[in-house]
Amino acid sequence: MAQYVFGSGIIYGTPLSDAGGAAVTTPTPLQFGELQEGSVEISFDNKPLYGNKQFPVAVGRTKGTISGKSKAARINGGLFNSLFFGQTLTSGILSINNDIAGSVVPTAPGPYTITPTVPGSGTWAENLGVRDAAGLAMTRVSNSPAVGQYSVSAGVYTFAAADAGAKVYIDFQYTATSSSAVKSTVTNQLMGYAPQFQADLYFPFQGKALVLTLHACIGSKLSFSGKNDDYMIPEFDFQGFANAAGDVLTWATTDR
C-alpha cells in the first residue's frame, strides 16, 4: 500500500542551549501539545547562467533555508521559555483580577476605602483601573479624590465621600506562590544570541510514518492571538541551520 500522511503530526523540541549560548547538559524534550498544524519548508536560491538566448544554459544552487511552523493549542510555559526565550523561569503566579461582581464603597462615616481580596492568598502588585457602575473608567488621583475619582496605595483604594454606597469594579495585577505555574521576565539580550533546539516532526498514518529531524533550530516568531468565540492557538515559527557536525536535516519515509 502506498504511503500517505494525514493530520497535523507530532512535534518535539529538545533544548540544546539557552539564550546566552550555554549548553543544556540534561535536556528535557517537550511535545507541542494539541498540535493543529505542523510544517517544514525547504527552499533554495538558484543562480542561472545565460548566454544570448532566453533560457539559462546552467543553473547553480546557492543559499538555502529550512524553516518550520507549528500551531499548538496547549499553553506550555516551559516550552515557550526553553525553545524561544531561553531565560530564567521561576515558579509562581502572575495574574490579573478582572472584577466582575464589583464592590461597594463604604457608607458614612467611612473610611471610604476598599481593600480587594487577592486570589490565592497572593500579593497585590499593580493597579489596572477602576470602573463605575456604568462601566466607565474612574480617574485616578494621587490623593483626596473627588466624586468619580480614586487613589490607590499598596492595594488600598480610597474614594470620595460623595461616592459612598456606589458600586465599583476594581481590576489589578497580583502575584502568588504556586507549585505548577511559572513566569519569566524577558531581558534585553545581545544580538546574535538565542536558545537553540532540535526539532523532531513525526507524521504517522496507516502504520507508516514520515519523520523529519532538524538538528539545530532557533525560534523566529511566537504569537498569541485570542478570539471571541474560539480557542487561542499560539503560533511558533523556527529556522533550521547546520549543527557542529554539519548536519541540517535527517528525514525518513516508510516507503521508497
Alpha-carbon span 68 to 199, nearest angstrom: 9
Alpha-carbon span 30 to 220, nearest angstrom: 18
> Where are the chain's structural domains?
10-42+61-89+185-253, 93-176
pLDDT one-digit tens code per residue, 178-190:
999 999 999 999 9
Buried b / exposed e across 118-147, counting CB within 10 Å, b at 16+? beeebebbebeebbbeeeeebeeeeeebee
pTM: 0.88
* Ranges of residues in the chain whose predicted pLDDT is under 50: none
The confidence score (pLDDT) of residue 87 equals 95
- Domain over 10-42+61-89+185-253 is classified CATH 2.30.110: yes
Tell me if 158 sits within 8 A of 111, measured CB to CB.
yes
pLDDT one-digit tens code per residue, 78-127:
999 999 999 999 999 999 999 999 999 999 998 999 999 999 999 999 99
